[in-house]
Structure 1
């Protein structure tokens, strides 16, 4: 059985918005949270967000809240 900090079974996937320039993030459904890490440095650690916080972030991003104008 895995613990909340055990990442051995995490299935990381790249963002669908990642371009071919190597500036990618990867996300994974962890035991309790959503993990986010830099695809160029996967062993450098990750950020973890509660699913409701991650969903709010995605909604805001889809609505252009973080677009550079």
Structure 2
């Protein structure tokens, strides 16, 4: 999928913004999910298929990704 298709997407903010004022935004684009940093909305967003997104959310729920230390 081409990242430029996400340009007109309806972006939504995550419910947990970071301590630095930035947060992750996501948008559904067709059958895909695009994500971006709210502080850099012009950057080309990575886009994931439904299966990839489901696996990512499952990993987050299970704590498979370490929280970076500031």
Tell whether the structures are fold-level matches, with TM greater than 0.5: yes
Alpha carbons 2:24, 2:35 under 8 Å: kept: yes
Question: TM-score, normalized by length of structure 1?
Answer: 0.77
Distance, in Å, in 2 between the alignment partners of 1:44 and 1:6 is: 11
SS in 2 for 1:42: coil
Q: Tell me, which stretches of 5 or more residues in structure 1 are unaligned?
A: none
The residue that corresponds to 2:5 in the other structure is 5
| Partner residue in 2 for 1:36 | 35
Partner SS, residue 5 of structure 2: coil
Q: Which runs of 4+ in 1 moved over 6 A?
A: none
TM superposition score normalised by structure 2: 0.76
The alpha carbon displacement at 1:19 in A equals: 3.3
Q: Report the aligned-residue RMSD.
A: 2.1
Distance 1:25 1:32 in 2: 19
